[in-house]
Every structure is written in C-alpha cells, then in structure tokens.
Chains A and B, each alone.
Chain A
C-alpha cells in the first residue's frame, strides 16, 4: 500500500501548443485532505483528468494508489470515488436506473450508507437526471461516489451549484468519511472558505506551475503581508527574495513576502521604516496574492 495515493512526477500538459501544466510535482500523503486551488483555466480539472486516466499527459507520470494512471485496473478504479466538475452523470437515465448501473458496476457498494445519503438529500428516484437541479445532480454524484466506500475520493469543484445548507451537509460528510482510517481526499474548489474549512494541505496552481504546496497552517504562518510607512519616499528595491507582491504609494509600501522570518524582518528594518504593520490575510487573500503573476514556486515543503 503506497504512502502517497496521489503522485505526479514532472507532469506537463500542452493543449494546442499552449502549456497548461508545467512540470508539476505533487505528492499527497495517505489520509490527507488536499485542497487544490487555482483560477479558472489554471489546470485543476486537467490534473484530475490525467490522474484518473481520462486524459493523457504530454510529459511526465502520474499514479493513483501506487498504480500508473493510464493503466489503472478495474479493482483499483473501484476504490476511487470521483465527483466531476459539472456532474457528468448519464443525463437521459432515470435516477433509479443510474443508481442500479453504478451498483452493478461497483465491487464495494455500501447499500446502507448509500440509502442514508439518499434519504439525507431526498433525491427523487423516478425523475431523469437531466430534470434534476444542479444541486440535486451534485448530491446524486456525491452519493454515488461515496457509496463505493472509496479509499481515495477526488472531488472536482463538488460544491458548485449547491446551496448553503447542501454545501454544509457535503462538507460534514467529507469530514465523516475522512474519519475512517486511511481515507484520502483531493478537493478542488473555487469556494475558498470550503477549502479552508476542510483542507489540511493546500496546492495553488498559477501560470501552469504549482506555486504553493504546503500545509494550510504553514501557508498562513509563512506568507505575510506588511504595510511599511516611510518618512521619505519608500525604497525601489528591498533586496529581498520571495516577494510575491509589492505596491508603492507616496510614503507607503505594501509588500507580501513568502517564507517570512526574522532575517527578512532585519533586512526590512535596515530601510528604517517609520512603522511596520502586519495585515491579516485569509486564505482568499493569500490565493489572490499567489495567483497574480507568479510562475515560480513560492512555498514548497
């Protein structure tokens, strides 16, 4: 059993001559909830599709549960739950027919757990999937993914289209699932508060690169946004590495620095600022800062 159920090695993907993923190296440890973030078109869904073997890499290798993604055998696939962006279920099927198909194809179907999910979500069995609302489709997709008792759960923007209550239910279910030993979740989302709530580790994709890959706590501790007030004009260059963003006005400089430590603080103090104030940053603020223009890794651990 691999200690890293999800691995990408030098993963590169080109679409029509455009580099979407550039040399991505990612290792998700067993039992971890990994939040994959990135702007629209950053390559989150592409990574997930390559991991699942529904698309191929231009260069590099990916593996799931210790097996090459392109050669995943049926029994391993049966241990991976997947909720796709847009919930690509079989639209012209009735809900009951789709459930039966998934049950028949599954090797580890947990009927009791599935029934409890269906009752929680109150899904209508006699309607066609295409007639369900986006939220209901998301719930059905999630129920089907969870019913197989997955060792690895891959969720590609699963809360898209869900109302607040359904989103909360989903997050609680995800946490419940994780409480079972050894479950791993790869979770991509646009709703950063969701990621902040459940993810232990964060990856941020920007410009085709994985610019952040570390624990959420570490990310919050190591990225600092400072407001420096100067009596005169602020210096043009702070002579610091890992500056993510820097804005200068008349006497004020706002700077976001990765891997901030005492040594960097000492360098800042050599410019004799009148005051240095730390601006608190939420995950959303960090995400916005990290996805501005960066192509180089900011934080890796």
Chain B
C-alpha cells in the first residue's frame, strides 16, 4: 500500500505543489494581516485581511480539489496505468484506497499550514477583541468537507470518457457546492449536507472504479 501511495504522490506532485502555493499565498496574507498594527478587525476578533482570505481560499481549494480528483482518475485510466498496476500484486480495492488516501493527504497539505499559522498567530499576538474560535473551527470544517466533496466529485467525473464534459461539469458542480456555503453559512446543516454528499460520491466512485473496464 505504501508503494502505491508513494506512486500516487509522485505522479501528482504538480497538484501537491499547487496546494503548497495556495497555502503559501493565503499564509502570507494572514501573517501580513496580523503584523499590520493598524489592521481592521472583523466583529469576531479576526483581522479583516484574514477574514477576506477565506473566500479566495475556499474557491481555489475546491476548484483544485476537483482537479486533483479528476486528474488522479482520468490520467490513470486513460494511460492504462490502473490496468497495468492491476495485473501485479495489487487489487482494485488497494488501488482505490491509495488514491483516496492521497486525496486526503493532499487536502491536509493544502489546509493544515493555514490552520496552524492562524492558531499560532492568535496565540502569540493577543487580540483586543476576543477571538471566536468556534467560528474559525466551523469555517475550517465546512471548507474541508466542501473540498472533500469536490475531490470526490472530480474522482467520479475523472472515471468518465469525455474530458471536455468532465472539466465543464466539474467546474459547474464545484461552483454549485461552493455556493451552498454562501446560502447556508457555516452551520451544522451545511456540514451535514457536505457530509452526505461526500459519502454518496465516495460510494459512487467506489462502485464505478470496482466495476469499470480498466
């Protein structure tokens, strides 16, 4: 399994680099927001710069997650890599597990630096207005679940035959998922919606991958 995971990471290294770049840009904005002495604060005690980085981060992360899922599946299937690997000491189940685990590692790589940086800065630079940590946690849970849904959406679309349809449908459905955050906010309801969406898309991707010709 470790060999398969390593292979997935190496083959998708560009997507990992894009995740690091996204995290780096957002971190730079967050750090600069904290360092500015005249920084404006949002009502929840978070600098405006930090507050404003979220929409950019969520949209970019979700679009990249959709791309990651799609690229992982489409390229392997199209270049018959999965077919080649499945003729070795590897089952389809292991192949899919490796892909999914690497997808989750990718999400962690994209999200964790920003979360860690914010929590660290909030600790070392005390705010005049108390920070609403529960809101921050909810924002990150919703962002994570939305990105996971988008990743699994990409995985499903990547198993299709038509690249153009996969790209267009991926972008469209990804934006619909993101727009649900605008409609529902960061409450428990949206977490449930994204949770159910993720489970449904994971089951669908599993069934499709286990039965399609490789």
Contacts and interface: CB of A to CB of B under 8 A. Distances in A.
Interface of A: 49, 52-56, 72-75, 77-78, 80, 82, 84, 88-92, 101-102, 104-107, 148
Query: Per DSSP, are chain A's interface residues mostly helix, strand or loop, or mixed?
Result: loop
A53 B81 CA distance: 15
Interface stretch (B85-93, B111-119, B145-153, B164-172): B85-93
Interface of B: 3-4, 7, 79-81, 83-92, 94, 211, 213-214
The 3 closest A-B pairs by CB, nearest first: A78-B89, A88-B80, A104-B3
A84 B83 contact: yes
A72 B88 CA distance: 11
Nearest to B94: A74
A130 to B, nearest CB: 10
Contacts of B92: 53
Given A53-B86, A84-B83, A101-B7, A74 B91 contact: yes
Contacts of B83: 54, 84, 88
Nearest to A50: B213
B144 to A, nearest CB: 31
B213 A89 contact: no
A55 B80 CA distance: 13
A7 B91 CA distance: 20
Contact of A105 (B3, B81, B211, B214): B3
B9 to A, nearest CB: 13
Given A56-B211, A101-B3, A88 B84 contact: yes
B90 A74 contact: yes
10 contacts: A49-B213, A54-B87, A56-B213, A74-B89, A88-B80, A89-B84, A92-B79, A102-B88, A105-B88, A106-B89
B211 A54 contact: no
A54 B86 contact: yes
Nearest to A87: B84
A75 B86 CA distance: 12
A177 to B, nearest CB: 17
